[in-house]
Amino acid sequence: MGHHFTWAEVYERSDRLADRHDWNGLIQLYDVLDAALCDTPAADDRELRQCRARVARVAVFELPAARAADAIRILEREFEDGVAHSGALWETLAHVRTWAEVGAHLRHPLLRHLVAHARVLRGEDLSGVDGLDPEAYGGVPLSLAPWEAEFWDVAEHPSSSGRSSGGTAIASLSAVGREGRRRLPPSGGRAVPVLAAPEPLAPGAPTYCFVGVSGPVRCAADQAVARYLHGLPAHERPSYATPLPFAAAYPDLVLALGGSSAYGTVASTALGRIAVWRMLRGFAGLDATAPATEVSAFVAGLSCLTWELSSDEIWFLHLAVHHGGVSWIVDGQDVD
């Protein structure tokens, strides 16, 4: 097969091979496209990369457990070449395979941990598994903390779980229907520091993030919200915010910090979980070596507020987090 094949032909052929369970043919198709890329100038390789990524998604999703080593070889090749075209294939692998089926074949340190955290979010407890280090990427434990599990339902947030690269989960933390809303106070005091994008979620696996996080503000959560929103025109400024437990905000934080957005950027629940834990450790002043129980104790002392803006559409997250006299704003919107 030459690299003159079109996207439509590769799409149809990869599906046909998978439907027939012709695993050797599917792997060969990937390898031919991969070899063709080596002979193609970078300026002319866009369609070829998309074709190879399509075959990779089908292979990682469809190859049976007995061919896990082949699926992971393809996953590692795509990851090494960048994730722009193939997306978060580690999420696809974690969706269809247990750790017992793939763990022994995962040798790339970062991919090994990304698959592990994606499996943890699907209910596996990987505490104590050889070759997994909770401190390696931000001090994230290899089992769900009770506050993580309270509102998390992976069935509602499948992420990349099929042959297609579409279907990104949506982050939209809404105050609609929540009880106990409170009127915001006057916006006295200095403005909240400008929001900054979180640090790279994990080296080698960048993703777009529409949410920014403020520095610490020494005031109550409702005062921080009022000060933060003061920069909006008066007619767009909400008058109320609604309290909620941090655990209720956790699923939306995982999605937003993991790259969920209006457009098809790389989105990963595993990256989102790592980002949430790194954020919490930063808020609490805990480094990656501090026990996860200390983070959970910090979470137990959090109070949060959320609010809505008239400009909210589908992708938005508005959250104030408060602990011990200090507040932080986690906020953002994305539009289609």
CA distance 25 to 183: 63
Burial of 135 (0-12, 13-18, 19+ CB in 10 A): exposed
CA distance 232 to 308: 13
Nearest CA-CA partner of 111 in 268, 255, 263: 268
What pLDDT is recorded for position 1?
45
Task: Specify if 24 maps to a domain.
Answer: yes
What pLDDT is recorded for position 175?
58
330 and 189, same structural domain?
Answer: yes
69 and 202, same structural domain?
Answer: no
Task: Specify if 48 maps to a domain.
Answer: yes
Task: Specify if 162 maps to a domain.
Answer: no
C-alpha Rg value of the chain to the nearest Å: 22
**Boundary residue ending a domain (69, 86, 103):** 86
52 and 195, same structural domain?
Answer: no
Three-state DSSP class for residue 123:
coil
Q: Within 13 Å of residue 242, how many CA atoms lie on the same side as its CB?
A: 16
What pLDDT is recorded for position 2?
45
Using CA atoms, how far residue 219 sits from 190, 227, 238, in Å, is 11, 10, 19
186 and 319, same structural domain?
Answer: yes
The pLDDT tens digits along the chain (336 residues) read 445 678 899 999 999 999 999 999 999 999 999 999 887 777 678 888 899 999 999 999 999 999 999 999 999 999 888 776 778 899 999 999 999 999 999 999 989 999 999 999 999 999 999 999 998 888 999 999 999 999 998 777 655 545 554 434 455 666 555 678 889 998 776 677 767 767 665 555 556 788 889 999 999 999 999 999 988 888 888 999 999 999 999 999 998 888 887 776 678 899 999 999 999 999 999 999 999 999 999 999 999 999 989 888 888 899 999 999 999 999 988 876
Task: Specify if 278 maps to a domain.
Answer: yes
Using CA atoms, how far residue 95 sits from 27, 119, 232, in Å, is 20, 8, 42
What pLDDT is recorded for position 23?
98
202 and 79, same structural domain?
Answer: no
How many domains does one find in the chain? 2
Task: Specify if 97 maps to a domain.
Answer: no
- Report pTM: 0.91
189 and 330, same structural domain?
Answer: yes
What pLDDT is recorded for position 211?
86
What pLDDT is recorded for position 221?
95
What pLDDT is recorded for position 174?
64
Task: Specify if 76 maps to a domain.
Answer: yes
**Boundary residue ending a domain (86, 118, 138):** 86
Task: Specify if 315 maps to a domain.
Answer: yes
The domain in which residue 12 lies consists of: 1-86
What pLDDT is recorded for position 234?
85
Write the DSSP string, 165-203: S------B---TT-S--EEPPP--SSPPPPPBPPPPSST
* Cβ atoms of 164 and 92 closer than 8 Å: no
319 and 197, same structural domain?
Answer: yes
296 and 191, same structural domain?
Answer: yes
* Cβ atoms of 192 and 221 closer than 8 Å: no
**Boundary residue ending a domain (71, 86, 101):** 86
**Pairing state between β 303-306 and 315-323:** antiparallel
211 and 67, same structural domain?
Answer: no
